[in-house]
Amino acid sequence: MDQQSERGAFEFYGSWREYAPIAFTNLLLTIVTLGLYSFWARTRTRRYLWSQTRFIDDRLEWTGTGRELFFGYLLVMVLVFVPLAGIQLLMGALVSRGTQSAAAAAGLLFVLLYLFVFALGGVAIFRALRYRLSRTYWHGIRGGSDDQGFRYGLSYLWRTMLGSAAFGLLVPWALVSLWNERWNAMSFGPYAFRSGATTDGLMRRYLLFYLLPVLVGIGAVVLVVLAIAFGFNPRAAQGGTPASFTPAAAVLLVGIALYILFFVFFGLIALAFYAAYFRQGIGNLTLGALEFEFTARTRDWLKLALGTIALVVCTLGIGTVFVSYRNWAFFVRHLRAYGTLELDQFTQSTTRAPGQGEGLFDSLDMGAF
């Protein structure tokens, strides 16, 4: 373990040149099959990325299949979204009656439907993580969870709503507590993950979201005054020379500039917050005697984001096939592990492996790669 620690417990050996044939073949087959091949494309991508990732003394192995992902998606569409479509038709029929009681019933159904779909989002996140751990092998040993994720879905619902309802000030608490609950239900081999993340260091960065509109408002007033004062020359206008700017034009230009700056600074604040969030979450995660650390700072996330934007824009969108590769390489290269792991005590997981893939995660379009 000492020799491995000098190199780092995690190491990624992949190269974009080696991955390119896989990426472009996936793109072509997905287009030809009108998107149907995307499930198998994701499997091929994961198989390559996992196989190029070393943890201590052995590489990871992805054993999931495109068939699992495809049938998981179909199962969710049949068992969940077909009934939801029926409920929506029922709501439309109630509204069309035009009575007060029917409208109230339709409104109640809408609220219940919204809450149900929101809770499903939590179940999707949990089950996607459980599935990925169950299909990830190291030394022939996998991870998983015996929890089905339904309790987590309810927790996801009330914690997220409470965090948002309190003027959004409890959002960091909701994110961290859900992170802990999710990982504390997972295991790998005979060892359970334990997460004790807190909001330390997160609130200061999160409060910048509240401070940003105030700063933008003050900046708007200052810039408008300066633009009118220096950009509009009434004496030039009286002498027959056109004025440099009209007040309306100055306000318009300042508004456009502030609109752009708002999203630039908003993105930077979001990067700073999530950089601290992942350092806090992973830094307080343990597996047996192993402790983890995530070293990516805000500038590292910014380089990743700008590089991805440049890749996609300069290639007219074709570069999107390399986004999952870049994200995985970024994650592995900033991930650290410390401690010891006794291989002779590292036995196979006894958790039940799910039979389907991330159907719910895919159907809700929640960004699985």
pLDDT digits (tens, 9 = 90+) for 226-258: 666 665 554 444 454 454 556 666 667 767 777
> Is the CB of residue 275 less than 8 Å from the CB of residue 262?
no
Q: Write out the H or E segment, with its range, that includes residue 147.
A: none
pTM of the full structure: 0.84
Measured distance CA(10)–CA(182) in Å, rounded: 23
What pairing do the DSSP bridges indicate for beta strands 141-144 and 136-138? antiparallel
Query: What's the CA gap between 164 and 115, in Å, rounded?
Result: 14
pLDDT score of 274 more than 80: yes
pLDDT of 6 > 50? The answer is: no
What does the pLDDT read at residue 5? 45
Cβ proximity of 293 and 283 under 8 Å: yes
Q: What is the pLDDT, as a whole number, of residue 343?
A: 81
Confidence of residue 369 (pLDDT cuts 50, 70, 90): very low
Task: Place 1 in a pLDDT band, splitting at 50, 70 and 90.
Answer: very low
DSSP state string for 40-52: HHHHHHHHHHHHT
pLDDT of residue 224: 67
- pLDDT score recorded for residue 229: 67
Q: Is 195 helix (H, G, I), strand (E, B) or coil?
A: strand
User: Is the Cβ–Cβ distance between 51 and 60 less than 8 Å?
Assistant: yes
Domains in the chain: boundaries: 2-363
Write the pLDDT tens digit of every residue in 105-155.
878 888 888 888 889 889 889 998 999 999 999 999 999 999 988 999 999
**pLDDT above 60 (res 176):** yes
